[in-house]
Amino acid sequence: MSSRILRVNMTEGTVKYEDTPEKYRPMGGRWLSSSIVCDEVDPLCHPLGPYNKVVLAPGIVTGTAAPTSARVSVGGKSPLTGTIKETNAGSKFPPQVAGLGIKAIVVEGKPKEEGKFWTLEVNKDGSKLVPTPSNWIGKGLYETVPLLYKEYGDRVGLMAIGVGGEMKMVNAGVCFNDLENRPSRYSGRGGMGAVLGSKGLKFIVVDDTGAPGVEIANKELFEVGRKKLTDALMTHAITKPKGALNTYGTAVLINIINEAGGLPTRNFSSGTFEGATKIAGEAIFEGNKKRLGKELYNHACSPGCIIRCSNTWHKPDGSEHTSCIEYESDWALGANCGIDDLDVIAELNQLCNDYGVDTIEAGGTLAVAMEGGVAKFGDGKKAIELMREIGKGTPLGRILGSGASLTGRVFGVARVPSVKGQNMPAYEPRAIKGIGVTYATSTMGADHTAGYTIAPEILSVGGKADPLSTEKKGELSRNFQAATAFIDSSGHCLFIAFAILDIASGFQGMVEECNGVLGTGWTGDDVTKIGLDILKMERRFNEAAGFTKAHDRLPEFMKYEKLPPHNTVFDVPDDALDSVYKF
């Protein structure tokens, strides 16, 4: 059975399966979503108009026994940044799509009738668009998604947009269901939920019962690769069972980045937060232990994940409050707003999931609003009220639901920590300059997952002879961004990088898995080249959309405002930033 692309035309209300064109056959994830977007979307289109598209592409090995690989890339032109966007999530949804032999779902066009919403049903018999029942619209996802499971069964993989997406707010994300069917996994960044909202697509329900499964060209090679990668993940201190991620989740970073002086606090005005220990991974583990009477280790968000880093936070009565409190959400809704209360952070997190908005941007928005005087830093009660405005769609809610940059403009705030319109995540670039280089140069806007750059080689520290030329530094940064672009295409969670960038056999294993599935013969160098090609094409899209090197810069205030405790500014020279993409 050869793979197919499922095209969903929201203007006509039709669905169509096409054989996958030859050039797309080795692709998956970000490689495929960015390729289709670059081939089919006009970089100058209006992101909420009829010519933008949303591509949902599972990864190359998604749907196989490859560990920690149940991920989908969502791509299109972002209404938040105006750049190309790829945002991905782990869920039950991607392996089911892949198991049905679908390489990508492409959602295009725009219904003539506004305000009507549709559900796409996908199963072994085909696909069809049905009107979404009206009592599933205009309400929180925690209320409507149980109704959907009653109708379709608990097995299904689900994609959803919340009221944020229905109202086309540009901070709306794309929601996917986790292993326990919570609407809690997000392709959050860049407002792709608003694009789906503009196209009237509210839900995609996929059921792979009776599906053929993913075809594997060379089963022996795949198995060799799978075993190498599994071994690497099971032995590395970060990814192994009861390692850092399984015990404390990504929130383990709160105390660590705080001690590094890089935890952005109160809208990026300091690198340390006095309340950090109250909201860190340790505090979550301990708080749950007290409230549940037992130790709670983290769980997998998606089928086949062996890292299991997702947590839950429980109320004093032991009932679940939210899943999950990631480092980024914990920081954005916590330290960045000056909030040190996990119960408040959990409520804000739960509201973001309910309304379908990105927690990183939402926290950044609240912080900018606080700086603009809409609330005081640290006022958790007021933060929750403001978040509820988003759900209600009031004018203030619509402003806040449109992200930090817009909110900053409305309230006259000059200190907005964004690049290309997307707010920075949980690492202060003045303290951790290598991440600043990624924020500035990534094709996605300020993004911490689009690529890793190496700080030591990028920067020379005063007094020491700099062993690397500017060109060499750019090349190193670029190769790391390329490696992560490939991981995003494989279908693996980016967290495998922690293990495979240390354990070479793990990296080899990932490449062998891909070769096993596809029948290709890629080497490590080929994989880097693929990653570089992805970056090149994304960059070309952005250039055609009007972006220049002037946009590859950090906000002005970070160049002159010294950040405590290091008391540094972002002083990486412009030509070092420009050298990242000189190839």
Residues lying near another protein in the complex (CB under 8 A): 237-238, 242-245, 247-248, 250, 252-253, 255-256, 259-261, 271-272, 277-278, 280-283, 285-287, 427, 431-432, 434-435, 452-456, 459, 461, 480, 498, 501, 565-566
| Amino acid found at 188 | G
How far, in Å, CA of 127 to CA of 26, rounded? 24
Annotate 105-124 with DSSP letters as a single string: EEEE---SSTT--EEEEEET
For residue 137, the surrounding DSSP H or E stretch is none
Report the 10 Å Cβ neighbour count for 395. Answer: 8
* φ, ψ at 88 (rounded to 5°): -130, 165
- Nearest approach, Cβ of residue 354 and another protein (Å): 26
User: Taking a C-beta distance cutoff of 8 angstroms, is the pair 325, 342 a contact?
Assistant: yes
CA distances from 328 to 91, 300, 335, 427, 500 (A): 19, 18, 10, 9, 23
Residue 242 CB, nearest approach to another protein (Å): 7
Minimum distance of another protein from residue 280's CB (angstroms): 8
CA distances from 468 to 254, 455, 556 (A): 32, 12, 27
Closest contact distance (angstroms) between CB of 256 and another protein is 6
Element (H, E) at 370: helix 359-371
| Residues 130, 495: Cα–Cα separation, whole Å | 37
Spell out the residues 6+ positions from residue 55 whose beta carbon is closer than 8 angstroms to its own: 32, 33, 36, 37, 73, 74, 75, 76, 104, 105, 106, 107
CA 251/CA 221 separation, integer angstroms: 36
| Farthest CA pair distance, the chain | 68
Is the CB of 21 or the CB of 316 nearer to another protein? 316
Where helices occur in 413-463 by DSSP H, the ranges are: 433-441, 455-458
For residue 63, give the amino acid letter: G
Cα torsion angle, 92, 98, 104, 109, sign = negative
Residue 576 Cβ vs another protein, minimum distance, rounded to whole Å: 15
Taking the least distance from each CB to another protein, the nearer of 35 and 255 is 255
Smallest gap from Cβ 388 to another protein, in A, equals 27
User: Is-contact 563 270, C-beta < 8 A?
Assistant: yes
**Nearer Cβ to another protein (355/427):** 427
Is 375 or 563 the residue whose CB approaches another protein more closely?
A: 563
- Give the span between the Cα atoms of 405 and 386, in whole angstroms: 17
Tokens 């069917």 -> residue: 181
* CB closer to another protein out of 435 and 511: 435
**Residue number with CB closer to another protein (221 or 245):** 245
Task: Of 185, 303, 317, 296, give the one whose Cα is nearest residue 248.
Answer: 296
**Shortest Å, Cβ 285 to another protein:** 7
Min CB(553)–another protein separation in Å? 19
Least separation in angstroms between CB 199 and another protein = 36
Closest distance to another protein from the beta carbon of 532 (Å):
18
Q: Which of 257, 374 has the CB closer to another protein?
A: 257
Residue number, 264 or 281, with CB nearest to another protein: 281
**Nearest 10 degrees: Cα torsion 172, 422, 417, 164:** -10
CB atoms within 10 A of CB 360: 30
- Output 132 or 258, the one with its CB closest to another protein: 258
Shortest reach from residue 247's CB to another protein, in Å: 6
Q: Among residues 8 and 263, whose Cβ is nearest to another protein?
A: 263
- Residue 466 host element (H or E): none
Instruction: Identify which of residues 176 and 480 has a Cβ nearer to another protein in the complex.
Output: 480
Q: Which is nearer to another protein, 434 or 506 (CB)?
A: 434
- Least separation in angstroms between residue 29's CB and another protein is 21
For the bound state, the minimum distance from the C-beta of residue 297 to another protein, rounded and expressed in Å, comes to: 12
Closer Cβ to another protein, 252 or 387, answer by number: 252
Q: Which is nearer to another protein, 288 or 349 (CB)?
A: 288
Nearest-angstrom CA–CA distance, 407 and 368: 7
126-131/84-90 β-pairing = unpaired
Nearer to another protein, 71 or 202 (CB): 71
Q: How far is the CB of 402 from another protein (least distance, A)?
A: 29
Shortest gap between Cβ of 573 and another protein (angstroms)?
A: 18
Question: 420 in helix, strand or coil?
Answer: coil
The rounded Cα 341 to chain-centroid distance in angstroms is 25
* CB neighbourhood size of 43 (10 A): 18
- State CA 312 to chain mean position distance: 19
Cα-Cα-Cα-Cα dihedral sign, residues 54, 204, 88, 402 = positive
